[in-house]
């Protein structure tokens, strides 16, 4: 299968390197490149949400009939809805996707052919699309390293990602803004590193993702704030039994997921 990857950041660059390592005929393109895609059977659009539609508008005429286009944005509902009507009529197939892999660093210089080894790829295909395109896409994803392929609705994707990814970045960003942060050298171990790792997120990219998924992220933030409020109340009144129960509930929930 001939593949094109558009967008040479961390994810796009890693897709390019993973496809090269897997032996695919693959080309990497920057957002502004004028490219003829007429021979590409699979296109990964590793672009920010605001850039996907303009890029497709500019290049759709060159898409090969029957080609599959997969976007890799971290929010799915806006893109899914924006392309619904076009996807029903297009000569090519659009499959919204989201690879559950990344690093706290960005850019092609940090791209890694092994980034997707053991990772999950979430797809939110249109119900009218049929199994054919998925049967062509999924074996390619497996060769790129993905071991789990999840098919779901865009709404459920966005609800889950608000909790499993975006809220983690919010908490990390808030945590590192404590006035004690500059004094931490010599006082840190694994817990500090884990909590602060994703605070170095790119401001423009992540603010866009937060705003695109505002409804679900607000719900996750509110739930988290509620748990913090509960903990604070227990601590303020020195309720040891209550603190032990609160801690135990979290520990039991974590163990149940392992």
- What is the per-residue pLDDT across 236-258, written as a single tens digit (0 to 9) for each? 999 999 999 999 999 999 999 98
Res 50: pLDDT: 86
The two three-digit tokens of residue 130, written as one number: 């049929």
| Together in a domain, 16 and 73 | yes
Q: What is the pTM of this model?
A: 0.92
- Please give the residue range of the domain that contains residue 191: 156-257
Q: Do 117 and 36 contact (CB within 8 A), yes or no? A: no
* 52-61, 218-227, 240-249, range with the lowest pLDDT: 52-61
Helix, strand, coil % in the chain, rounded to nearest 5: 55, 15, 30
| Together in a domain, 141 and 222 | no
| Together in a domain, 147 and 211 | no
Q: At what angle do helices 214-236 and 167-175 cross, to 10 degrees?
A: 50
The two three-digit tokens of residue 101, written as one number: 């892999």
Position 32 confidence tier, pLDDT thresholds 50, 70, 90: confident
| Together in a domain, 104 and 173 | no
Q: Do 27 and 40 contact (CB within 8 A), yes or no? A: yes
* Rounded CA separation 116/91 (Å): 29
Position 102 confidence tier, pLDDT thresholds 50, 70, 90: confident
User: How much of the chain exceeds pLDDT 90, in percent?
Assistant: 92
Domain count across the chain:
2
Place of tokens 């076009």: 86
Interstrand relation of 120-123 and 93-100 (parallel, antiparallel or unpaired): antiparallel
Write the CATH number for 113. Answer: 3.40.50.720
Q: At what angle do helices 214-236 and 203-212 cross, to 10 degrees?
A: 100
> Does pLDDT of 70 surpass 90?
yes
* Rounded CA separation 12/19 (Å): 11
| Together in a domain, 147 and 236 | no
| Together in a domain, 171 and 53 | no
Which among 152, 172, 196 is the end of a domain?
152
Tell me the average pLDDT across 51-60.
93
> Does pLDDT of 36 surpass 90?
no
Torsion of CA 96, 92, 107, 109, to 10 degrees: 130
> Does pLDDT of 106 surpass 90?
no
Tell me the average pLDDT across 155-171.
98
| Together in a domain, 145 and 56 | yes
| Together in a domain, 142 and 171 | no
| Together in a domain, 141 and 211 | no
| Together in a domain, 70 and 173 | no
Which among 122, 152, 182 is the end of a domain?
152
Which among 119, 152, 185 is the end of a domain?
152
Tell me the average pLDDT across 193-218.
95
* Rounded CA separation 116/93 (Å): 23
Write the CATH number for 185. Answer: 1.10.3660.10
| Together in a domain, 49 and 164 | no
Contacts of 231 (CB under 8 A, 6+ apart): 243, 246
Mean pLDDT, the chain, rounded, equals 96
| Together in a domain, 88 and 58 | yes
């Amino acid at each position: 299968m001939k593949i094109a990857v558009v967008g040479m950041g961390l994810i796009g660059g890693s897709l390019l390197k993973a496809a090269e390592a897997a032996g695919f005929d693959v080309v990497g393109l920057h957002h502004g490149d004028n490219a003829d895609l007429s021979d590409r059977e699979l296109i990964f659009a590793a672009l920010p949400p605001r850039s996907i539609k303009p890029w497709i508008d500019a290049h759709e005429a060159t898409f090969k009939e029957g080609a599959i286009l997969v976007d890799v944005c971290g929010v799915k509902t806006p893109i899914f809805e924006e392309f619904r009507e076009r996807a029903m009529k297009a000569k090519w197939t659009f499959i919204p996707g989201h690879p559950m892999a990344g690093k706290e660093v960005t850019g092609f210089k940090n791209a890694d052919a092994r980034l997707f080894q053991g990772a999950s790829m979430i797809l939110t295909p249109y119900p009218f699309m049929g199994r054919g395109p998925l049967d062509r896409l999924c074996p390619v994803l497996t060769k790129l390293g993905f071991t789990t392929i999840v098919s779901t609705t865009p709404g459920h994707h966005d609800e889950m990602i608000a909790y499993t990814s975006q809220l983690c970045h919010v908490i990390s960003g808030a945590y590192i803004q404590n006035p004690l942060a500059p004094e931490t050298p010599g006082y840190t171990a694994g817990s500090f590193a884990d909590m602060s790792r994703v605070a170095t997120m790119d401001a423009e990219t992540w603010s866009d993702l937060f705003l695109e998924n505002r409804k679900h992220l607000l719900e996750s933030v509110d739930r988290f704030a509620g748990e913090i409020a509960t903990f604070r109340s227990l601590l303020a009144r020195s309720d040891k039994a209550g603190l032990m129960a609160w801690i135990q509930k979290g520990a039991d929930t974590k163990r149940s997921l392992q």
